[in-house]
Chain A
Amino acid sequence: MKLKQYISFVVISIVMHSCTTVKPYQKTRLNDSEMELSIRKIQKAEASFQSYREGAAGANGGKAGGGCGCN
C-alpha cells in the first residue's frame, strides 16, 4: 500500500472511530445553515462555470456530465 493511501486510511479510521452519538438537542451548531454538507444555492453559478472551464466535474452535489454543452 502506498504511503498516501496508508495515511488516508489511518486518518479516516481515527476520525470514524471518534464518532459520538449526538442527540437532537445537541445539534444546535450542526443545524446552522452554514454547516450544510452541500454547495449552497449561491454557489451554483460558480459550480456551473467551473464545469465549463475545467475538465473535472461531479461529486459535489451537481452533475458529473450531461445536461448542458459543458465538458
Chain B
Amino acid sequence: MRKICLVLVGIYINMLGAFAQAVDSLPYKNRKLKVEEINFVSSYYHQEGNNSAVTGGIGTEKLSDYSNTFDVKLVKYDKLNRKRNLDIYVGVDYYTSASSDKIDLQANSSASCEDLRVYPNVSWSIENEEKGTTVGTNISSSIESDYLSFGFSGNFSKKTADKNGEFGIKGQVYLDRVKLVLPIELRDGTRDFHDYDKTPRNTFGATLSYSQIINQRLQMMMMIDVAYQKGFLGLPFHRVYFMDSTLKAEMLPSTRFKLPVSLRANYFLGNKILLRSFYRFYKDDWGLKAHTMELEIPVKITPFFSFSPFYRFYTQQGIDYFSPYRSHALTDRFFSSNYDLSSFDSHFFGAGLKIDPPRGILGNKHWTMIELRYGHYKRSNTLSSDIVSMNLKFK
C-alpha cells in the first residue's frame, strides 16, 4: 500500500513538474495592466479664402480651429501571452467660422459663428505575437451642434510566416445624422435651432492593406479603401445661386461610392536621412478624380533630434455637379457651389522638429518626446491656410 501511495505521489509530482516546465518555456511577460503611452496633441488651424459655399461660392471662408486630443494606450499580457491593447482617445475642436455665420446673414450674431466638436473613440485589440495575428474593434462618436455620428469597426491582421509582411482587413460603419439647418431665406416660419429635422447619412467602408519589408532599409504598404455613402450627402446651409438669381440649398445625389488606393514607401538613406513617401489615387461616382503625392525627409541631426521638411501636392478634377456663383441652370438636377468639390491643385509644405532624448525632456523620464510641426497650404482657387501642431508623449 505504501509503495502504491509513493508511486502515485511520484506520478503527481512528475505531472506538476511537466506542467511547470511547459509554463516556464514561455518568455516572461509582465501581466499587469500598464500605461504604454499617453499622447497629447494640440493644433491651431487658420484659413482665408473668398469662395464660401455658405454664400453660394462667393464671400469669406475665414475660419479658425483649435484642436486638442488626448490619447491613452493601455497594455496587458494575458495568461497565453497575448497582448491586449486598449486605446482611449478624446478630441475636442473649437472653431469660429465667418462663413457659417452667414447662414443667418447677420455676421457675428448667429449661433453658427462658433461651434464645438467632441469626438471620443475607444479601440480594443488582442495581438498574438507568436501567431502574428491581431483582432480588434473600435467604437467612436462625433458630436457637433448640427451633426451627430456613431461609428463601429472591426479589424483583423495576419503576418506572413517570416514576419516581414502583414495583411490587414477592416470593416467600418458610420451612422450619422445631419441637422437640416437651411439658410435663413429658405426657412419656413421661425423655428428654433433645436427644432430642425435630422436626416441620416450612413457610410459603409472596407479597407484592405498589405505591408511588406523589402530589405533592411525599405518597407512599403499598399492600401485600398472602399466606401459607400447613403443619405443626405450635401450640407443644407450651402447656398446655390442660379443663372437667373434663384436661390436654393445645395442638392447632391443621395449615394456616393468612393475608391481610394494608396502606396506608402519609407526608406532609410544612410544613417541620418529617411524618405517617407506617399501616393494616392482617388475616384468616385460623382466624377471626382484626384492624385495626392507626398514626400517627407526626416534628417536626424543627432540620434534624438530630427528636422523633417515635407511637401505635398494634390490635384483634383471636380465633381460633375459643381458650378460657380450664378452658373447653374434651373434644369440641373444636382447642384453645388462648394469649391472644396471643384477642380483645383493644392500645395502643402512645411517642417517638423522632434526631440526624444533617452533621459526624457528636461530630465523628466516620463516625458519622452516633444514634436512641433508647421505647414502652409495654398490652393489654386484663393484658399490658403496655416496649421501648427504640437505632440507631447509621456510613458
Contact = CB atoms under 8 A, between A and B. Distances in A.
B256 interface: yes
A15 B224 CA distance: 19
A55 B290 contact: yes
A13 interface: no
Contacts of A19: 164, 212-215
A66 B60 CA distance: 26
A28 to B, nearest CB: 8
Contacts of B266: 34-37
Contacts of A26: 216
A41 B162 contact: no
Contacts of B371: 40, 42
Contacts, number: 196
A10 interface: no
B360 interface: no
Interface residues of B, number: 89
B216 A29 contact: yes
Given A18-B214, A57-B258, A37 B221 contact: yes
A22 B215 contact: yes
Contacts of A57: 258, 260, 282
B108 interface: no
B298 interface: yes
Given A22-B213, A59-B280, A67 B41 contact: no
Interface of A is mostly: loop
A38 B298 CA distance: 15
Nearest to A45: B43
A67 B174 contact: yes
Contact of A69 (B164, B235, B348): B235
A32 B314 CA distance: 28
B205 A64 contact: yes
Given A45-B43, A53-B340, A66-B174, A30 B162 contact: no
A45 to B, nearest CB: 4
A32 to B, nearest CB: 7
B117 A32 contact: no
Interface band, chain A? 35 or more
B305 to A, nearest CB: 12
Contacts of A36: 266
A25 to B, nearest CB: 10
Interface in A25-71: 26-27, 29-30, 32-38, 40-46, 48-50, 52-61, 63-69, 71
Interface string B371-389: 1010101010001010101
Nearest to B344: A54
Interface centre among A32, A53, A65 (most CB of B within 10 A): A65
Given A32-B274, A45-B41, A67 B142 contact: yes
Interface of A: 15-16, 18-22, 24, 26-27, 29-30, 32-38, 40-46, 48-50, 52-61, 63-69, 71
Given A33-B356, A64-B225, A66-B203, 15 more contacts: A19-B215, A30-B217, A30-B268, A37-B220, A40-B391, A41-B39, A42-B41, A42-B391, A52-B340, A56-B282, A56-B288, A59-B223, A59-B262, A59-B282, A69-B235
15 contacts: A16-B214, A24-B163, A35-B268, A37-B264, A41-B71, A41-B391, A49-B385, A53-B379, A53-B385, A55-B318, A55-B319, A57-B258, A61-B223, A64-B260, A67-B149
Interface of B: 39, 41, 43, 45, 47, 65, 67, 69, 71, 117, 119, 140, 142, 144, 146-147, 149, 151, 162-164, 172, 174, 176, 178, 201-203, 205, 207, 211-217, 219-221, 223-227, 229, 235, 256, 258, 260-262, 264, 266, 268, 274, 276, 278, 280, 282, 284, 288, 290, 292, 298, 306, 308, 314, 316, 318-319, 340-341, 346, 348, 352, 354, 356, 371, 373, 375, 377, 379, 383, 385, 387, 389-391
